[in-house]
Amino acid sequence: MKIIIADHSGFCFGVKRAVDMTISELDADSNKLYSYGPLIHNPQAVKRLESRGLTTLNDYSSLKSGKIIIRSHGVPKSKEEEMASKGLEVIDSTCPYVKAVHKRVEDYSLKGYNIVIIGDNKHPEVVGIQGYSQGDVHTVNSIEDVIALPNMDKICVVSQTTNTKEKFDTLSEAIKEKGEVVEIFNTICKATKNRQDATKEVAQMADVMIIIGGYTSSNTKKLVEISKKYCNNIYHIESIKDLSLQELSKFNTIGITAGASTPDWIIKEAVEAMDKINNNEINNEMMEAIENTFTRIHRGDVIKGEVIFVTNNEVMVNINYKSDGIITRDELSNDPNVNPKDLYKEGDEIYVYVVKNDDGEGNVVLSAKRVEDIKSWDELEESFNNKELVEAKVDRVVKGGLIALVKGVNGFIPASHVSAKFVSDLETFKGETLEVEIIDFDKEKRRLVLSRKEIEKGELKVKRDALWANLEENKIIQGTVQRLTDFGAFVDLGGVDGLIHISDLSWHRVKHPSEVVKAGDKVEVQVLSFDKEKNRISLGLKQTIEEPWVAFTNTVNIGDVVEGKIVNLLDFGAFVRLNNGVDGLLHVSQISKEHVAKPSDVLTVGQSVEVKVIDINNEDRKISLSIKEINEDSNAQEDTKEEVKEEAILNEDSDPTIGEIINSK
């Protein structure tokens, strides 16, 4: 007798999650735990939970306190809100797949869409989905139901997660005729489809199909429907007690599948009961068949799996084992900021590393980053042996250097190897991607030491050679001010530093370079001289602008009145910086026609003044200024006006035209 066990039989992710959450609550708290309706569609499994302290209720109105768990099928939003308003502690074990349908229905109904659900109007899951619509909602389960739908502007179509794909495709295609805009979403659970496909495959090969699952379970009923299409002999049972073992002895090939709410122990119980016939032959074959359907896993194995669900914190993976596997956020990647949804989507096939066979709640603990680590360490070993450069993204600063990611592996860059130049603040490298070489590598000890220094030295040499080859006296080049000293400013020209002496920073006398430039400034400088052997380059900043004396003499003449500011006060006079940028002397005797003992008695540094240029000495480059002459010129003009006015008055009778002119003034 041949036994064939369909893949994906038994608990699905959502049901297992609900059961695990319930057991966890029962183990952690002695207080009463209630379930609103049967937790899952399997009476035997529910009865076991009730024996441990769970109480199943169909009406929670009399409850005033305690914990109440929402079953895997979910409930209408209003029910959940009502539970919370009563002061009950709500534990939501709704299947994440169903929860995703809730959100989609709520979002689209708020956008003005009419919601159409393909499913059983009385099924708890469908009732829950209906309760998330904020507008009109319709449920269809046949072509006749679709025909009865009214015509609508906008329709959002979703499905009960346990539907068959064939039914969904047929009805959703018909619904298209009922709306102007129709958005169709296949919300059938991936695990449901996999289970149905596996059942179909086994039913085509078996003489008899045994479908184990609750009589009210929708997904189990779908397995029965599928089995009937391909096999003539069908037995739908909830447990082995519902099956006549003698009936099975006449069949050569037995196919077995189980609904999503059927626990492993019920399947195994059925197999053990078959020990009564055929001298243990069936039992041995069945037990072997069951074991063969599951992947044998051990800690440290790297196996292939399929992503079945992704949240913001974890990824669920079907590894063809009796339990699904979980990859927690910290086992996804070495990058702590990674979002699981950016890495994987439902249906992706990935390789995973087995961390633990059981996390204490029946789940297999998996790691994706450790698979990548294994691959990355192999690649890094090859790069190290071949002396190849690699890219490293700086993640954080630690004592003594930097931690950087190379192919997802943490490497260490000592502070002395971060750069060929002195670095005062390592924080500036955070987030940067650097090209580095591997200077120390040990795969067994997981040691990876990196260096940027030697690469920079090579890059600097190329820059230096190019700079020296193109350097010319009087050439204008660009650079960056690196540091300041009392005698000048050092400028990085691209691998080589040049010096601007303090005397070449400005045409004016400066006490310190910081009066003209600061570290980090981009400047244009003139090459005054250079010596490659001594590695010296003299630069000039003031030479890149027109000399103030030349600008002054080209635009100002003796006798012109100009503006300036007092920049220095001495006993014999004041120095005035004119707008052209040159300094002139305002002698104490030229400040006022009144006696001035010293300039500070009437002037202050920073004061703006108007002065008259009374002398320009080109040979000594000296300028003499006067405020007094401006005042004298002004007084002289006033005297002239008065004389003209008096003369006009005397001649007014003889010359009325002149008088009119005077009066007009």
pLDDT band per the 50, 70, 90 thresholds, residue 648: low
Give the containing element (helix H, strand E) for 640. Answer: helix 628-650
**13-28 helix and 43-51 helix, angle to the nearest 10 degrees:** 10
Yes or no: say if 502 and 510 are a contact pair by the CB < 8 Å rule: yes
pLDDT band per the 50, 70, 90 thresholds, residue 116: very high
pLDDT band per the 50, 70, 90 thresholds, residue 114: very high
Q: In sequence order, which residues have a C-beta less than 8 Å from that of residue 282 and are 6 or more positions away?
A: 1, 3, 248, 254, 274, 275
* Percent composition of the chain: helix, strand, coil (DSSP 3-state, to 5): 35, 30, 35
Residue 503 CA: distances (Å) to CA of 71, 200, 314, 508, 552: 84, 93, 66, 9, 21
More confident residue, 117 or 62: 117
By mean pLDDT, which of 124-128, 328-332, 540-544, 579-583 is the weakest? 579-583
CA distance 295 to 288: 13
Q: Residue 658: its pLDDT value, please? A: 38
The token pair at 101 is 């349908």
Q: Residue 275: its pLDDT value, please? A: 52
DSSP state of 151: P
Most confident of 29-33, 101-105, 544-548: 101-105
SS3 89: strand
Q: Residue 664: its pLDDT value, please? A: 43
Yes or no: say if 577 and 567 are a contact pair by the CB < 8 Å rule: yes
CA distance 11 to 324: 10
**599 HSE (CA, 13 A, CB side):** 25
SS3 3: strand
Q: What does the CA dihedral 15, 20, 25, 27 come to, rounded to 10 degrees?
A: 140
Instruction: Give bridge partners of residue 306 from the DSSP assignment.
Output: 318, 349
The token pair at 553 is 């003499």
Q: What is the residue-averaged pLDDT of the chain?
A: 84
Which residues are annotated as catalytic? 125
Residue type, 651: N
Q: In sequence order, which residues have a C-beta less than 8 Å from that of residue 500 and are 6 or more positions away?
A: 488, 489, 490, 491, 513, 517, 525, 539, 540, 541
pLDDT in tens, 519-556: 889 999 999 998 888 888 999 998 888 788 888 888 88
CA distance 244 to 253: 16
More confident residue, 581 or 662: 581
pLDDT band per the 50, 70, 90 thresholds, residue 412: very high
pLDDT in tens, 343-355: 888 888 888 888 8
